[in-house]
Amino acid sequence: MRGPITSGAILLAGVFVFLKFILPLFTAPLPASLIYLYMTLAFSGIMLYGTMSASSLESLMGPVFRFLSGEGQSGTGKLARLAVLVLFPLLVGWQTYTSLAPSDLPPGENRTIHPAPPGEFVGLANPYQNNEANINMGKGLYAAYCSPCHGANYDGKGPAAKGFNPPPANFADPGTIAQLQESYLFWRIKKGGVGLPVEAMPWKSAMPRWEVELPDEFIWKIIMGEYDGAHQSPRTWEEDD
Amino acid sequence: MLNKLRFLATVTLVGISGILGSTVGFASDPPPADEAAGSVSIRMYQVEGSLPADDPNSPQWSAVPESIFKLAPQVHWPERIQEVTVQSVKVKGLHDGQNLAILVEYEDPTDDAKDAAAIEFMVGDKKAHFAHGQPMLQVEGGPVNIWFWKKENGKALDMSAQGFKTLAAQEKQDVQATGAWEGGSWKVVFTRALQTEDEQDVQIEPGEWRSVAFAFWDGAVVDGLVKEKGSQKAVSSWWSIRAEPSADNSIYGWVIFGLALAAAFEFVVVRKLRKGQSA
């Protein structure tokens, strides 16, 4: 017969395996902090269930109490108890040390990758016809101005890309331009890295402010060439457009 | 009896949560940078005694762990360049509580008069764009302090900039540099006091993070033209640098305190349990 402690431990292990290994098969991996939160909730649930009545409390905690109190123990039981009693303070001491010791990791930064654009860049439509001539002109301009960083294959892996932090955007990734409207790209290309709001850390971006060098016509056509070359379509909000 | 058991259950629950919390490392995210991606920061180690401030080849440097940063051509501004000679830089740092020394080591196949290296810092609390602190449209930026070494001058210039075309040598020069080329690589050591009287300078306070970036020019002459000059250079992004704080022995005090607290907690729990069982 399985006691409540074994059942609880199996349940906890199951929750961990599910969160850490099975869920990432279907979606993005969970951050460690979220896994810890879910594990704490699962543990609290098991403890609540186990302490609901006097008899369940006894069957859940009785073995733990008897183990810790050391009454009538001998051999391996005695050794195991000693090990737990010695290891727990050591663990606390080690944790204290690692949380206080100086680290070479600078403080974490949360950079917003696609911040909100300024109002004047919301909902602009590309004034140029989406035809082969315009797309080809856009691809030519892309090859000249954008591909050194964003790559001839639109994958963010141009020859100049590897030294940059943040790295140049990968347009072939469905998480970049496929999630954005053309007017958003128009803003990002025209104003460049220095046009970003504070949450996007403009001081780190190497993206040129292309309005200094290119007319709007070139920028709109580059956008067309970029979507076509990366096999993506711009996001639209109104289906009947 | 039941109340006592409830109390003990609560105490044990708190204890076990503590253990779980302290071992959360088992599920920690992987560190953000791996070997291939390069480093994210530089630690300037504190030394007793003298700094190898004017000798890039001092054996003292060989024991210092290095940080590695990849470089890219400067593309942000016109007169950009698409290929550069220097692909990455190894950086080491030391300080003695008064002065600092930063060694940059990078591959450049030829020793040319126009070869140059620079270290850039943000100055003050305002963020500065890594391209010479040029103005940002939605954020009020700050200035940068640039330490510029050129082979033909054989010394460093202490410079300031806040935007393109504003780069200028400071009135008060506080930086020294010495370079040595050997077998296809440059080693340049920059040195300065951690803190200066000049408000245009970056002030290095041990224990505090500062933002740092690098730039390198291959001054080889190809077809009568200097290969890399001005805005045509290899650059890094902003990374972090910190002078190691003095050894803080209070950490060990806190560790002992933690150990004692945990042991006392165990003692109380076990004693309660024993009383409970004999009752």
Interacting residues of A26 by C-beta distance below 8 A, sequence separation 6+ = none
**How confident is the model at residue A45, as a pLDDT?**
93
Q: What are the pLDDT digits (tens) for B134-156?
A: 999 999 999 999 999 999 998 99
Shortest distance, CA A35 to any CA of chain B (angstroms): 8
Residue B14 touches chain A, beta carbons under 8 Å: no
CB contact under 8 A, A93 and B41: no
The pLDDT assigned to B26 comes to 44
Whether residues B129 and B228 fall in one domain: yes
Cα of A89 to nearest chain B Cα, Å: 5
Total number of domains in chain B: 2
B93 lies in the same domain as B128: yes
| Chain B residues whose beta carbon lies within 8 Å of the beta carbon of residue A105 | 31-32, 40-41
pLDDT of amino acid A27: 81
Give the nearest chain A residue to B207 (CA atoms).
A102
B76 plus B192 within the same structural domain: yes
**Among B88, B258, B37, which residue's Cα sits nearest to residue A95?**
B258
Residue B104 within a domain: yes
Given this model, what pLDDT does residue B77 score?
86
Q: Are the beta carbons of A173 and A230 closer than 8 angstroms?
A: no
Residues B59 and B172 in one domain: yes
Q: Which of B20, B27, B77 sits opposite A20 (nearest CB)?
A: B27
Q: Kindly give the residue spans of alpha helices, DSSP state H, lying in chain A.
A: 4-17, 32-50, 54-69, 76-100, 132-141, 147-150, 182-191, 216-229
pLDDT tens for B166-225 read 999 999 999 999 999 999 999 999 999 999 999 999 999 999 999 999 999 999 999 999
Same domain, yes or no: B236 and B256 = no
Contacts of A85 in chain B (CB under 8 A): 266, 270
| Cα angle B49-B55-B61, degrees, rounded to a multiple of 5 | 65
Question: Quick count: other Cβ atoms within 10 Å of Cβ B7?
Answer: 12
CA distances for B202 relative to B132, B136, B146, B170, B214, angstroms? 14, 20, 9, 13, 15
Find out whether the peptide bond into B135 is cis, omega within 30 degrees of 0: no
Q: Which residue has the higher pLDDT, B34 or B216?
A: B216
CATH fold of A119-229 reads Cytochrome Bc1 Complex; Chain D, domain 2 (1.10.760)
Q: Which of residues 150-189 of B touch A (CB under 8 A)?
A: none
- The band of B81, judged by pLDDT with boundaries at 50, 70 and 90, is confident
Q: Do B277 and A71 touch (CB under 8 A)?
A: yes
Sign (positive or negative) of CA dihedral B253, B96, B170, A193: negative
- Kindly state whether residues B128 and B264 are assigned to the same domain: no
Where do we find the tokens 């020019």?
Answer: B217
CA distance, residue A241 to nearest chain B CA (Å): 32
Chain A residues with beta carbon closer than 8 angstroms to that of B251: 97, 100-101
- B183 phi and psi angles, rounded to 5 deg: 55, 40
Question: In B, which residues are within 8 Å of A159 by CB distance?
Answer: 82-83
The answer to whether the pTM exceeds 0.90 is no
Q: What is the pLDDT of residue B15?
A: 60
- Residues of A with Cβ-Cβ distance to B43 under 8 angstroms: 104
- State the Cα–Cα distance between residues A73 and B12, nearest whole angstrom: 20
Residue A211, both tokens: 């309005």
Question: What was the pLDDT predicted at B19?
Answer: 57
Does A106 sit within 8 Å of B41, measured CB to CB?
yes
CB B149 within 8 A of CB B176: no
Task: List chain A domain ranges.
Answer: 4-98, 119-229
Report the residue of chain B nearest A118, measured CA to CA: B138
HSE at residue A230, side-chain half, CA atoms within 13 A, is 30
Q: How far apart are CA A131 and CA B12, in angstroms?
A: 71
Res B28: pLDDT: 42
Q: Is residue B94 classed as helix, strand or coil in its secondary structure?
A: strand
Residue contact B277–A65, C-beta within 8 A: yes
- How close B27 gets to chain A, by Cα (Å)? 5
Integer-rounded Cα radius of gyration of chain B: 26
Q: Residue B141 sits in a domain of what CATH number? A: 2.60.40.1190
One-letter amino acid at A51 equals T
The predicted structure's pLDDT at residue B29: 41
> pLDDT category, B246, cuts 50, 70, 90?
confident
Average pLDDT per block of 10 residues along chain A, 241 residues long = 82 94 86 90 92 87 84 84 92 90 79 90 91 95 95 92 90 88 94 94 94 96 94 73 44
Q: By CB neighbour count within 10 A (0-12 exposed, 13-18 middle, 19+ buried), where does B223 fall?
A: exposed
Same domain, B153 and B277: no
Are residues B89 and B219 located together in one domain of the fold? Answer: yes
Total residues found in chain A within this entry: 241
User: If you average pLDDT over residues B55-60, what whole number do you get?
Assistant: 94
CB B159 within 8 A of CB B153: no
For residue B25, what pLDDT is reported? Answer: 45
B237 and B181 co-located in one domain: yes
In sequence order, the β-bridge partners of residue B235 are: B72, B215
Shared domain for B123 and B194, answered yes or no, is yes
Asked if pLDDT for residue B32 goes beyond 70, the answer is no
Whether ipTM exceeds 0.90:
no
| Of A125, A169, A117, A166, residue with least CA distance to A147 | A169
| Chain B positions in Cβ-Cβ contact with residue A88 (cut-off 8 Å) | 15, 19, 262, 266
Parent domain of B194? 34-243
Whether residue B264 is found in the same domain as residue B126: no
β-sheet bridge partners, residue B216 = B117, B234
Other beta carbons within 10 Å of A38: 14
B138 strand-pairing partners = none
Residues B223 and B128 in one domain: yes
Does the pLDDT value for residue B279 go beyond 60? no
Cβ-Cβ contacts under 8 Å between A and B: the total is 196
